[in-house]
Amino acid sequence: MSPFEIIILSIGLGMDAFSVSVCKGLCMPKMDWKKAGIIGGYFGFFQALMPVIGYFLGIRFENYIKSFDHWIAFILLTFLGIKMIKDIYKKEETSSNDSIDIKTMLLLAIATSIDALTVGVTLAFLNVSIFTSAISIGIITFLLSMIGVKIGNIFGDKYEKSAQLVGGIILILIGTKILFEHLKIFTNFF
């Protein structure tokens, strides 16, 4: 994967955290940059950690599945992208608050980073530098989360669904690109 693709992947993965951050921002009577930084820190840390864990799990089983790893990458990324898009329509109105206590933030950070664990498995099959990828994912998620809190505080939930849609589409496109590269389909277009 090129650095550009890693950045795009990072943005796609960070959209769940962005969406939750928008909700946190909605509940803040006044913009609180300290809380936004803490929210971004939780999300960025877990989004960076989970791909590393997934990567090392993937490497462990690489020899067994090397001949069809591109199909696994395609299926996992497409599944995650479709799931993100479907979740837009399944979300129920939930009461949220601007609390950043450890229990709340750990649960939110882990829940929004499960997809990153799966992507880490995929990255193991692509021989990508996991630490560069994890740092990119963590920093971009941190920034998207801070931006999400600010947008939520200003505009409300107007952009939450759009962000999740974009994230889902990005994951599907990256999965399709990986499959096409390995099958040598449309290689001139990518």
Query: In whole angstroms, what is the distance from residue 36 CA to residue 153 CA?
Result: 10
| CATH code of the domain made up of 3-183 | 1.20.1250
Q: Is the pLDDT of residue 52 over 90?
A: yes
Query: In whole angstroms, what is the distance from residue 112 CA to residue 130 CA?
Result: 19
Residue 28: its pLDDT value, please? 79
- pLDDT category, 91, cuts 50, 70, 90? low
Whose tokens are 């099959």? That residue is: 125
Q: Would you kindly state where each structural domain of the chain is located, as residue ranges?
A: 3-183
Q: What is the pTM of this model?
A: 0.71
Residue 121: its pLDDT value, please? 86
Give the ranges where the chain is alpha helix by DSSP (H): 3-26, 33-60, 62-65, 69-90, 102-125, 130-155, 160-183
Residue 7: its pLDDT value, please? 93
Tokens of residue 179, six digits: 């499959």
Arithmetic mean of pLDDT, 61-70? 71
Who contacts 88 (Cβ-Cβ below 8 Å, separation ≥6)?
161, 164, 165, 168
